Amino acid sequence: MTMIPNKYTRPFGCENLHAVVFQSCADRGGVSPAVVIMIPEEVDKLSESLKQAHKLRARLLLLCDTEEQAADAKQVALDLLPDHREVSLSRAEAGAWGLN
């Protein structure tokens, strides 16, 4: 499931927001760089953003309007970031990533 709970998005006038979260396999917790990109608004910058995430071993947050966009962006990230792994929203939240 990729939908961010409405209790977090509704105060900002957003009913539906989907997220895909990745972290570097070298990420051991604590403070870490992060790359955040909005799909479809910045889809043309996705490749460059993924390169930055790889270079910095950064956490990656892909924010999307639809579940289909999230699935497509996830596949691109999986293809281009072999040293990253997907993590669930609940795990990212429990790890105090500041998503809420």
Q: What is the pLDDT of residues 4-62, one digit of tens each?
A: 888 889 999 998 999 999 999 999 888 889 999 999 888 889 999 999 999 999 999 99
Handedness of CA 62, 47, 56, 37 (dihedral sign): negative
CA distance 43 to 14: 19
Task: Determine, yes or no, domain membership for 100.
Answer: no
Q: What is the pLDDT of residues 67-93, one digit of tens each?
A: 999 999 999 999 999 999 999 888 887
Neighbouring-strand partners of residue 60? 22, 35
Task: Determine, yes or no, domain membership for 64.
Answer: yes
CA distance 18 to 5: 9
Q: Is the pTM of this model over 0.75?
A: yes
The tally of domains found in the chain comes to: 1
50 φ, ψ (degrees, to nearest 5): -65, -35
The boundaries of the domain holding residue 42 are: 6-94
Q: Do 67 and 18 touch, CB atoms closer than 8 A? A: yes
Task: Determine, yes or no, domain membership for 1.
Answer: no
